[in-house]
Structures are given as structure tokens and as C-alpha cells.
Structure 1
């Protein structure tokens, strides 16, 4: 196996992975540090960009039904709002935040049964990905299962890291948790995992992930959506932190509490590694209001558990309803998901069909935003991702799709383009 690096204008990184079998080249795959297709097409790497889309569509942001992001539609909980408002009247605005965030670290550690030194709060998961990537760039090859979250590549490109996409099967069973697929990866470098996987919604079994901790120098597991998955915590790798210093688990309160504006995530891992990141970063990455929200969540476990159960019941109920309703529509196939989002694929006679006309029609005529999946390496314009909404919101999506699908599919006579 030989890695070749090339400098091509317009790309952050370009790598060629050359497989040799019996001395003959079997295949060459080129991977960019950031997906060139996504850059050239102008595809947003994230959902939830309501302000920009509202300006483009000539409407107010609150007129949009945003199913491009995957947030709880009935959050944040009222008790969290009250706690943040109280913090406004205390010192959250008038004092610098605690640089060490010890109170928050202790609350998080108690919740997970670990030591405070194994916790590092961050300005959302995105900030923490940046520091993980700095470590990962020095380790070696970064293996990224594809399709996967684009922000990992963004973080790795910041440090000029060597990375390679590893395709996942695009068909998977409905039951779960599922075993991690057998991929032909060498036992070296860094493996980035998402559980449940984004964008497919597959929940990986803990037992199938344990061998990976013995194979790779560093394993990063993004569990941002795991609290929303019914019985998902049973598959968390947090209990293995003490046995595996090469394991980093990323968690976020953004999804389960629906607080993307506060920016609060946290890393769990080896204390020496986390202390190194702490020394690299800005002095106050976590603001006072975000810290107050985190304390409100972790300091009263019973209240948090009640909210989590409510969220998980919503995921179960709306996921089953959407699967049934989408499955009755012509030209689209809903994929199984354990998370609060699912993929749909445009198909006719087993051949992929572009869903971009459908997505654009939903935006312009119905003010509904679905996730353009071209930013996920390995997916093309035949795929869209739908974040679950309230039943009223989900009915609105199905009604609009039922109206627009015939015309959109009739205009999509050519195979989907990458």
C-alpha cells in the first residue's frame, strides 16, 4: 500500500491510495481533504442555515419548516429556559466564565461515572473536532467511513491531515443495533466513527466496535445523536474509556435539548490528551449561558432522564410514521434509521433518480427545507435526508412531497449526477 500526495490548485489535500495485489495495481482512489464535488457545487456542509435560505427565498426564517437539521422540534424544555433566564440575571453576562469549567466538568463526570479530568467541555462538538484533528494529523492516516459528516474533513484539512474515505454499504437491515461492517482497513492510523451514523442513522453495536479499539492508534466516536436513540446508551463506548487511552468520545447537548445557538459539547478521553487541547484553545470557549444550560441538564438526573424518554418516544413514533408514509410515495425509498433522521433515495426500476428538483420545489413553493446530501461523500443528488418534525410538521412534508413528486420525477429522466 502506497500513499501519494499531490498538490492541485483548489484542493486542500489530494491523496491516492494504491492497492497492489501480487505486484499489480488493483485500484487507485483519489480523496480530497474536503470533497471537491461539494466545493464546486456550492453545497452547504451543514443543515439548519435558515437565515441565508430565508433571504434567498424572500421570507422570514420562522416561515420555514427546517427538516435539514436534526433537532428536537419541541425543545428546549421549559425548565432549561427558566434556568438560562435566571443565569442572565446573575453573573453569566457580567463575569468571565470559569476557564477550567470545573463545576460543569464535575457534573458531566458524575453523570458518566468517570473522573472530571476525563472531561473537556467545548464550544459545540465542532470546536472539539478541530483539536482532535490536530492530534490525529500527527498520528497518520485518518479513515473516514463514507458517507459521513463533512465536518470531520473540515477539521482535518485545518491541520493538513492525511485522510481517506472508506465506503460503507448503502443498503442495511432495519433491525438494530447492527454489527460494524467488515472493511478492508489496515490496523494503523485513526478511525472516525459516528454512532448512530450520520447520515444513514445506523446504530452500531458496542460489541462490534470493541475490536477496533485494539487495531487503531486513535479511535474517535461521535455520539452526538446517541441520547435521542431508544436504548442507544447501551451501545455507548463511554464505559471503555478507562481501558482504552486511545479512545475519544464526543457528546453534544445541541441535539437532545435543541440548543444549537448556545454551542455546548464535550469530549471524554485520556486526561493528558484533553489537557493538551485545553492549552491549545482560546481562553473562554464555553460562554456563561451555555455552562448554565449544561449544569441544569446534568445536576438533576431525574429531570434529564424524563426529557430524554420523551424525546426517544417521539423518535420511535414519528420514525415509524414517516417510514410508512414515505414508503407509500412513488419514486422514493425510505431507508431504515435508529436516529431522528432518515435518508430517502430516488429510484425508478432500480435505477437512481435525482431528487434535486423535488428539494427545490419543496423550498420555493412550500418553504420546507430537506438536507441536500451531496455534501456527504459517497452520496449524490438521488439522496435527501429528512430530520423528524412534530406530527403536524411531518404531515406537511408528506403532503408537499405528494404534490411535487410526480412532476419532479417526470423531469428526472437521467441518472443522478455526483
Structure 2
């Protein structure tokens, strides 16, 4: 007999990109981080503050909240901080989702929303995004699934893995309709800082006017420091208060808090350079990969591309394996759902590495087409 809770038997942890450990020298396109890498000056800052790890972290993250308040322009009592934005997804589910309550997610999207809502006992309903419409959010279709017994709706903007940015007006239409129906809305903006239109597309400024809105953001992606787990959320005081009750105590370490605060103070030029580079390179990858036989690339808004390999006649796992043979790791998207087993996701990097990816995809296209070609009669 298993000692675990009965419903936990058979549950699988979500799979993600960035699984480079033990793979040796590899180019990792499977995760979507800042192609500039971490700001160079941060190494000396870490060394100068190593002595502070002998202290417990500030559980309230007061210094970091103060810097975040300045950075995003909202009061610090509307902000909560977590061990990556994923901790805040769990905290949101723990705080608000009761066993048996319905939760709506778009599909495909980041798998942790459904995972943690199910762990909280929620019943998750996935509303498909239509491939023929470029995976755009169908607001009217979404509303057909929402009634008074839906506890929460999760939206990712720009969406992972589709790289699609929805207009703020459309997202706020969902927020306002859900508010009228007594439904919470969680908007994940983990990749918003990579977009030139990020500030005007963000729902962060709207949290004071909508009691049902909670917005999560990531610092580890934009600063290319996923080993330092720091995310933050913004919402009405009541929502933030409940999330703070259930989040992990001392979840954000001393160095993480200090480093994040330091980066926020000095990040202006770095972020501008990031936005320009990502804009240039995502367009380069979109154009070059689209020109290669066998790949259908959906126009990217974020710092990653969603690519169908269906026309190659093989699945994404095969393409991933072939790319691993070339020393390249990409995200195989079958874990988002079986219907996405012919999709890969690739992050944007600097031009020299992007060229390596493009040439590898070309070779794979030629190899696959040759192997699948019918034999000539003798």
C-alpha cells in the first residue's frame, strides 16, 4: 500500500526546457532567457555580499519590494515576491482554489497552472487555442466556459509556448467580464519585459482598479539568471494578503533579494539593449526558418518561436533527437498535449548561435526528406 494520498498516484511533474545537466557541451535553445546573459557587473556584487548568506532572508522582501515599486510604478503593498513566479502560481492555487472548484486555462499554455490547481483539488478545464487563427485567444469562446462557479481563469501573455501577445484591451475584457461574474483572473506576464510594447501591453497598472486581477512577472528570465529564483506578483491588497499567508517562508534567499534589487536599480540600458536584440533576432529566426522546407513558424511576439515540424513527416521528439546529435537542445512540445507532439519551441539567442540553429535545421530537413523519399525503381 502506498503511503501517498490516493489522488497523487499517477500524477506526473510538469516537464520544462533547460535540462542541460549531464549533457556536456551543448547549445541550449530549449529555454527562453535573455540572449545577452547576466549583467557582467553582477558577479562582483555577489562576491561582495557573500558574507550575508549567514543571515536569514528578510521574509517580507522589503528592500526588493521597494525597488519593484519604483520599477513598475505601483505601491509596494500591492506586490508579493516568490521563489520564481512559479511559486506564486502555487500560492495562488493554495490560497483561492477549493476542492471541486472549476478553473479555466487556455491550451496550450504553461503547464504549472493546471498542475497546481489540480494539486489544490480544482477541476481544470482547457479551452483550446485555434491553430488556424494563429493560436489567438477567442474571448467569446472563453466566456462560454465561464459561469458563476468558475473560481479562476489563467492567461499567459505573451503565451508560452505559442509566443502570441494578446492586446491589453482583449485581456482586460476578460478581466472585466470575470469580475462581473465573481471570477479571479491570473495573468502571467513572465516574458513581457522582452517586448518593446511591454509596458503598454501590461496589465500591472490595472490591479488597483480590479479586485479580481493578479499579475505575475519573472526577473530570472529577463536577467538570464534562472539559477536565482525570483519572481513577483502584483494584485489588489486583499489578493496579495492571502497569497502572502500561504507562500513559502524565506522562499527568496538573501543573495537573490539583494541581486534582484541591485539589478532593478541599474537595468535601464541593459533592458533597452535586450529589447532591441530580441526584436532583431526573433525576426531573423522567423524569416530564415520559414524559408527552410518542412517547418511552419508562427510569428513570434516574445523571445521564443513556436514551430510545427509536421510537414517534415516526423514528430518533434525525432527532431529534438537529431538536433541533440548536432549539439543543440530544443523544447519538444508534446508535454503540452499530444496534439502538440509535432511542435518544437526555440529561444532567441545572439546571431552567431542563431545561425548555427538555422543551419542545423536545414541539414535535418534534408536528411529527413532523403530518408523518407521513395526508393527509385531499379
Partners of 1:380 and 1:288 in 2: CA distance? 40
Counterpart of 1:105 in structure 2 is 65
The alpha carbon displacement at 1:272 in A equals 2.7
Partners of 2:317 and 2:125 in 1: CA distance? 27
Counterpart of 2:18 in structure 1 is 48
Match of 2:97 among 115, 129, 137: 137
Partners of 1:230 and 1:200 in 2: CA distance? 18
User: For each residue in 1:166-189, what CA deviation from the matched residue of structure 2 results, as whole angstroms up to 9, or x when unmatched?
Assistant: 001113469xxx775432322442
Kindly indicate whether the alpha-carbon contact (under 8 Å) linking 2:87 and 2:247 is maintained by their aligned counterparts in 1: no
Partners of 2:117 and 2:370 in 1: CA distance? 41
Kindly indicate whether the alpha-carbon contact (under 8 Å) linking 2:95 and 2:246 is maintained by their aligned counterparts in 1: no
Partners of 1:125 and 1:411 in 2: CA distance? 44
Q: How does 1:378-397 map to 2 (within 5 A)?
A: 379-397=339-357
Counterpart of 1:200 in structure 2 is 162
Match of 1:338 among 292, 297, 301: 301
Asked whether 1:316 is paired with 2:279, we answer yes
Q: How does 1:169-188 map to 2 (within 5 A)?
A: 169-172=130-133, 181-183=139-141, 184-188=144-148
Counterpart of 2:359 in structure 1 is 399
Partners of 1:66 and 1:314 in 2: CA distance? 18
> Given the superposition, is the C-alpha separation of residues 385 and 412 from structure 1 closer, same or farther in structure 2, using an over 3 Å criterion?
farther
Match of 1:238 among 188, 204, 207: 204
The alpha carbon displacement at 1:402 in A equals 1.3
Kindly indicate whether the alpha-carbon contact (under 8 Å) linking 1:99 and 1:283 is maintained by their aligned counterparts in 2: yes
Partners of 2:369 and 2:8 in 1: CA distance? 37
Moved more, 203-212 or 164-173: 164-173
TM-score, normalisation: structure 1: 0.80
Q: How does 1:259-408 map to 2 (within 5 A)?
A: 259-298=225-264, 300=265, 303-348=266-311, 353-363=314-324, 365-377=325-337, 379-408=339-368
The alpha carbon displacement at 1:368 in A equals 0.4
Partners of 2:45 and 2:92 in 1: CA distance? 31
Counterpart of 1:34 in structure 2 is none
Match of 1:227 among 161, 186, 193: 193
SS in 1 for 2:209: coil
Partners of 2:231 and 2:320 in 1: CA distance? 31
Counterpart of 2:76 in structure 1 is 116
SS in 2 for 1:45: coil
Match of 2:85 among 114, 118, 125: 125
Kindly indicate whether the alpha-carbon contact (under 8 Å) linking 1:195 and 1:203 is maintained by their aligned counterparts in 2: yes
The alpha carbon displacement at 1:314 in A equals 1.1
Kindly indicate whether the alpha-carbon contact (under 8 Å) linking 1:355 and 1:408 is maintained by their aligned counterparts in 2: no
> Given the superposition, is the C-alpha separation of residues 412 and 135 from structure 1 closer, same or farther in structure 2, using an over 3 Å criterion?
farther
Kindly indicate whether the alpha-carbon contact (under 8 Å) linking 2:189 and 2:217 is maintained by their aligned counterparts in 1: yes
Root-mean-square deviation (CA, aligned residues, Å) is 2.4
Partners of 1:357 and 1:179 in 2: CA distance? 30
> Given the superposition, is the C-alpha separation of residues 144 and 258 from structure 1 closer, same or farther in structure 2, using an over 3 Å criterion?
same
Partners of 1:381 and 1:409 in 2: CA distance? 19
Match of 2:222 among 229, 253, 256: 256
Bigger relative contact order, structure 1 or 2, given CA contacts below 8 A and separation 6+?
2
Q: Where does structure 2 lack aligned partners over 5 or more consecutive residues?
A: 1-5, 374-378
Counterpart of 2:171 in structure 1 is 209
SS in 1 for 2:54: coil
Kindly indicate whether the alpha-carbon contact (under 8 Å) linking 1:180 and 1:209 is maintained by their aligned counterparts in 2: no
Partners of 1:9 and 1:223 in 2: CA distance? 29
Q: Which has the higher strand share?
A: 1
